[in-house]
Amino acid sequence: MTDETKALPAAPKQQKSASIWPLWIVILFITLASGALFFYGWLQLKQFSTLPTDIQQISQQDQQLQQAHDRLVTEVTALRQQRENLSERIQSEQAALTSKMATLSTQLLQMGGASRTEWQLAEAEYLLRLANQRLTIEKDVAGAIKVLESADTLMAETDDAGLFPIRKKLREEILALQMVNDSDQSGIYLQIEAIISGLDSLDQAYFIKHQTAKAANSPYVTPVQQDNAAQEQTLWQQAIAELNKLIVFRKLDAPVEPLLSPEQSVYLKQNLRLLLEQAELAMLKKNQLLYQASLNKSLSWIKKYFPTNEKPVQAIEEQLNQLLSRNIDPELPEISGSLNLLKQRIQLLYKQHALPPQETSGKEGA
């Protein structure tokens, strides 16, 4: 009886010690987690220490882009002046051709041997010259096609069988122009302007989205009669579940760019606007290399500083990829073959009717 009485008080002490030591394990894990969080915060502060250098680089790039923008504006102004001069030159040449046609019409009426066919051929020659000027100087593919089709319709109304090879060559030139993938400058310009307006919808705050980890769905069961081993396992599972709620581990496939300050974000969007405006100027000059370089740099900056899984960013990336696939300076075919053949035909008709030869462009009459 004495031994049994002494053994009875020892059981509560063992139970108490068995229920306390898992708490020390929880405290130890919390201490380690705090140390890990402190180390992670120190790493983040070390990354933010490089932000002044990045700000200085962005400011320098902004100045360089502004200087490039000023140079391009000057070049575009000179180009527009050149185009105006060329337009005046074309108008003067058109006036000279009109006067020439009037003179030829008078000569044909005076000679009496001139036919309506010769008059139509002279008008067709004028149209072919006009089409060549539009394509060479203005690079207007659609306008050149319309003028060539008018010339072909005019020649079709004549009864001259000798025009067959000329019309055949003319149809080949029209087909070659129709096969040119002419760039829609107005559409490209409006598309770039829409992207510039859409830059305000980009928000860098979405760059890193923390996802809340799901808590472990482990049942908490405490039977009325439970031995010490079962209690230890239950406490261990509860501790692991609580730690999973507090600490979230994420594996990133690429290094995380630090979030920019609001001032830096404004500089970034301003630089993107300058790049896109540079692409517009390059399109007006038909500079394919500068056009693609500006769009590629804009696309790389958007991918670097903004989240690619957000719909506004995806929409802008899709628009930039579409613009990169556009050819703003297509190779133009040669369409002077039909004009040369028609000039030879007209010269032959003048010889047959004993008319004075028609002056060709760039040559003075005898």
Rounded alpha-carbon distances, angstroms, from residue 162 to 71, 129, 205, 348: 54, 20, 74, 11
- Spatial distance between the Cα atoms of 283 and 190, rounded to a whole number of angstroms: 12
Output the 3-class SS for 68-114.
HHHHHHHHHHHHHHHHHHHHHHHHHHHHHHHHHHHHHHHHHHHHCCC
What's the pLDDT score for residue 229? Answer: 59
- Spatial distance between the Cα atoms of 340 and 338, rounded to a whole number of angstroms: 5
**Which pLDDT tens digit goes with each residue over 92-151?**
888 888 888 888 777 666 554 446 777 888 899 999 999 999 888 877 788 889 999 999
- Spatial distance between the Cα atoms of 313 and 233, rounded to a whole number of angstroms: 49
Q: Which residue positions in the chain have pLDDT lower than 50? A: 1-8, 112-114, 206-226, 249-252, 254, 256, 354-357, 360-366
What's the pLDDT score for residue 221? Answer: 41
What's the pLDDT score for residue 297? Answer: 92
CA angle 71, 75, 78 (to 5 degrees): 140
Q: What share of the chain is helix, strand, coil (3-state, %, to 5)?
A: 75, 0, 25
The tokens for 54 are 């990045």
Residue 129 neighbours by CB distance under 10 Å: 20
**Which pLDDT tens digit goes with each residue over 286-295?**
788 899 999 9
Q: Are 132 and 339 in contact (CB under 8 A)?
A: yes
What's the pLDDT score for residue 258? Answer: 53
What's the pLDDT score for residue 227? Answer: 53
What's the pLDDT score for residue 143? Answer: 85
